[in-house]
A and B are shown apart, each in its own frame.
Chain A
């Protein structure tokens, strides 16, 4: 049986989205309200288990009376607000943000981004062949996971998941500034020399595939990664008594990665090193 926490009852407030009146619980964001009425606002740095960081700016919308556009993911809805999600102005900013991102990093493993690039008619190539890019080699310094910062859009989700929002390990942070800003452990050291405890919660929240299981990374390199062939089975972790939910991703009868349901009220998608990576014994059939 799935237990659904109801929370305390909240008052509804009224405002309009694209001219349509909507009612949304007090404290919810513009994005929550948009999703509740079926409006598709693109998001990249927003994470369902994390506090909004509003760093990527693809979810910007127009709010009547606001000088600039407003990030839908973090701005709380207010009574009487007039929100417009699909104006020329908002679409222009989304298009440019997609172009800026796609011209500087590799978005090939970012879900839905190709669809948005098409929808907003973004042309990342128009900055020319000499446009500055990260051009980083993947960092493979341990057997569990790979950091491919050429795909990193600096959404801060991994930092937040590793830090005070979930794991409290604080192994990764943002270093440098401007275009030289990057995700790094202390002193830009290899992961093995850092405070990392290999819980993999950063992989769980990474929206672009910049952080991935070593297994996935190797299979992609070998050309054998095929999500359409994978099945997902949610089960209970057997390592300790907490009872975290594991979702086993299986391809060709082999576990290829492990995630955890984000709506689980105990783990919110977080696991420890054993639940996330300790599955070899399951497929050791000798």
Chain B
């Protein structure tokens, strides 16, 4: 590799931010002043290139300190990591939270996605922009879903500096959001995670039973509430025994694909290639989803324990927790939990005196929905653009760093704890024969008590909405998020199981249930969904990159039209949508048309 760096130099601040992550440079080969020794020996090569995965943390370090990524800063980071500047530039421009153009140190992300749009996000944005005129030192950015749907509308302020400061305002008013942006340190504290769980403290909860009950910062409190009994049981059973229990429990992935977890673990464990990795997908970016955030904020040790069990079962000694960049509080809680677990011998070498070694590293995403796709997530961790890889080979064979990898999302992992503590038969007895166990649903929109609900599989949509206090004049329910589909108010008897929703021609997806009453303008909502996918397409394959644009254009044309006037464009939407579903590389393009199609077919939008 013949690297070429420009003349631009980093500022002292930028250099310090990178050095704080990577340590001081050792020779002129990686950006230090030249010494006599540098004339006689070279440093770099494979050893430096193997640190390519520190590119994303490096970009974060600069962006956190300065608020944007300058040419000099990017070139310095590239020199330190032996990464070609063109590639690093490609990575930096991929993520929505980074900027390669100068901008104010404070960025206020105002969510304009589905739940927030229904709760008046556009008026909020206009109000904030009117208050924060030019020269306020705050850049107001319209953001996709911030995962705070139960408290819509939401805003997240990020103020660059050392350290970076963040503040969340939700439900946001113009006054609160401006306050959060101008003085993040003195902004009022967020309500505890348990506020998002209306059933908190209930006796029949399995997955959420500790949220609001334990102190999320206390390992002792976690253990006093049954923490680490599942890991002890795992050590008793041995890796094969754990996989047997998970398989027998019937647990399937909760991220939307519903793949049997036991089979995935078994497939990874049996790969001869080493090392194996465990990756926790905590990049929850589906509009309307916030369950993983609530678990990580309210019961962080549960995730740490569950990842340890997954690693033990599949023979991994290193785990990565890929956390979406918009979750500062979850990041702090998890960082604290990891440090405590390490200090107490629950991570690191010789866990619980069992001679088993495992540790977890947190990797922060930077605003890209596509990074929730498992192979795009690997690319993102490895320091490449978050573009999905084509499958096969599947991650169990060639995943992170090309090695066998088991990837599960937060909710799936947390399910492993009750599987082990109550045993596979008892767990499998919950729910239905084909959809076993408890399930989390993120209910938001036109309901009295939005939040996370835990129900055994098999409850109906109507029962769930009843629990959340559905308002009168319900117009539509979006099931499964932006990649899911709409159902009508007269379809509320759909059982919330994988087989039941499939039979009804819809999907559970990631467990999103968004209710919209008749005050919500449906065409605007559909346009927002189309805009979301156009914005979040990685741009790699043609059907998705151009198809999402053509669909959004057609929806713009028909937003004021109905009936025969819209027929041509609806036919066009269908044709493009069919090709996107058939020919896109990954799930984003394949599902981008689902919600709009269901609104046309089931709700009669544009009729």
Binding site for B on A (CB under 8 A): 54-58, 60, 68-69, 71, 74, 89, 92-93, 95-97, 100-101, 103-104, 126-128, 130-132, 153-154, 163, 168-181, 184-189, 193-195, 197
Contacts of A131 on B, CB cut-off 8 Å? 550, 553
B426 at the interface (CB under 8 A from A): no
Q: Given A180-B539, A187-B100, do A175 and B583 touch, yes or no (CB 8 Å)?
A: no
Closest Cβ of chain A to B114, distance in Å, is 19
* B84 CB within 8 Å of chain A: yes
A178 and B542 contact, CB distance less than 8 A: no
Within 8 A of A (CB), among B581-607: 581-585, 590
Residue-wise interface mask of B (537-581) relative to A, using a CB-CB cutoff of 8 A (1 in contact, 0 not):
111111101111110010001000000000000001001101101
Smallest beta-carbon distance A258→chain B, Å: 22
Question: Which of the 9-residue segments B86-94, B217-225, B248-256, B339-347 touches chain A?
Answer: B86-94
**Bound state CA distance, A186 and B590, in angstroms?**
32
Pairwise interchain contact A68-B582, C-beta atoms closer than 8 A: yes
Interface centre among B86, B93, B540, B550 (most CB of A within 10 A): B86
Q: Contacts A131-B553, A132-B553, A175-B90: A168 and B1 contacting too (C-beta < 8 A)?
A: yes
Assuming the A-B contacts A55-B540, A93-B579, A170-B87, are A193 and B6 also in contact, with contact meaning beta carbons closer than 8 angstroms in the complex?
Answer: yes
Is B502 located at the chain interface by the 8 A CB criterion?
A: no
Task: Give chain B residues whose Cβ lies under 8 Å from the Cβ of A184.
Answer: 86, 89-90
Given A100-B546, A100-B547, A168-B2, CB of A57 within 8 Å of CB of B539: no
Q: What A residues does B1 contact at CB under 8 A?
A: 168, 170
Q: Which of A100, A172, A195 contacts B542 (CB 8 A)?
A: A100
Q: Measured between alpha carbons, how far is A28 from B87 in the docked complex, in Å?
A: 30
* 11 A-B contact pairs sorted by A residue (CB < 8 Å): A55-B585, A57-B584, A93-B582, A100-B546, A101-B546, A163-B87, A170-B87, A171-B86, A174-B539, A187-B89, A187-B100
Nearest A residue to B6, CB-CB: A193
B90 and A101 within 8 A (CB): no
B583 x A69 contact (CB < 8 A): yes
What's the Cα separation between A124 and B536 when bound, in Å?
Answer: 24
Interface band, chain B: 35 or more
**Pairwise interchain contact B541-A195, C-beta atoms closer than 8 A:** no
Residue B385 CB within 8 A of the other chain: yes
B582 and A194 form a contact (CB under 8 A): no
When distances are taken between beta carbons in the complex, the residues of chain A under 8 Å from B534 are 178-179
Bound: A131/B84 CA distance, A: 35
Cross-chain contact A126 with B542 (CB below 8 angstroms): no
**Contact of B67 with A by CB under 8 A:** no
- The interface of chain B, by Cβ under 8 A from chain A, is 1-4, 6, 71, 74-75, 84-90, 93-94, 100, 368, 385, 390, 534-543, 545-550, 553, 557, 572, 575-576, 578-579, 581-585, 590
Pick the contact of A54: B71, B93, B390, B582 (CB < 8 A).
Answer: B390
Task: List the B side residues contacting A186 at CB < 8 Å.
Answer: 6, 71, 74-75, 84-86, 88-89
CA distance A187 to B542 in the complex (A): 25
> Which of B89, B542, B557 interacts with A57 by CB under 8 Å?
B542
A127 to B547, CA, bound (A): 11
Other 19 A-B pairs with CB < 8 A, given A173-B86, A177-B385, A178-B545: A54-B585, A55-B540, A55-B541, A55-B585, A58-B542, A68-B584, A74-B390, A89-B582, A96-B547, A100-B576, A103-B546, A127-B553, A168-B2, A170-B3, A171-B86, A173-B90, A178-B536, A187-B85, A195-B4
Rounded to whole Å, the gap between the CB of A280 and the closest CB of chain B is 26
Residues of B within 8 A of A194 (CB): 4, 86
Least CB distance, B550 to chain A, in whole angstroms: 5
A97 touches B89 (CB 8 A): no
Whether the Cβ atoms of B543 and A97 lie closer than 8 Å is yes
In the assembled complex, which residues on chain A have CB atoms less than 8 Å from the CB atom of B88?
Answer: 186
B4-A104 in contact (CB<8A): no
In angstroms, Cα B3 to Cα A194, docked, is: 10
CB-CB < 8 A to B535: which residues of A? 178
Asked if B546 contacts A179 (CB within 8 A), the reply is: yes
Asked if A56 meets B545 with Cβ closer than 8 Å, knowing A184-B86, A187-B89, the reply is no
Chain A residues whose C-beta falls within 8 Å of the C-beta of B572 in the assembled complex:
126-127
- Which residues of chain A have C-beta atoms less than 8 A from B75's C-beta? 186
Q: How far is the CA of A189 from the CA of B584 in the complex (A)?
A: 31
Is the beta-carbon distance between B71 and A181 smaller than 8 angstroms? Answer: no
Inside 8 A of A104's CB, which chain B residues have their CB?
Answer: 546, 549
Tell me the smallest distance from the CB of B54 to a CB of chain A, in Å: 18
In the complex, which of the residues B4, B534, B575 has the most CB atoms of chain A within 10 Å of its own CB atom?
A: B4
Q: Which residue of B lies closest to A189 (CB)?
A: B6
Max count, chain A CB within 10 A of own CB: residue among B94, B536, B540, B542? B542
Residue of A55, A58, A184 with most chain B CB atoms under a 10 A cut-off: A55
- Are A170 and B84 touching (Cβ within 8 A)? yes
Query: A68 — which chain B residues lie within 8 A by C-beta?
Result: 581-584, 590
A100 CA to B3 CA, complexed, in Å: 36
Measured in the bound complex, the distance between the Cα atoms of B121 and A157 in whole Å is: 42
Taken together as a complex, chains A and B put the C-alpha atoms of A170 and B86 apart, in Å, by 7
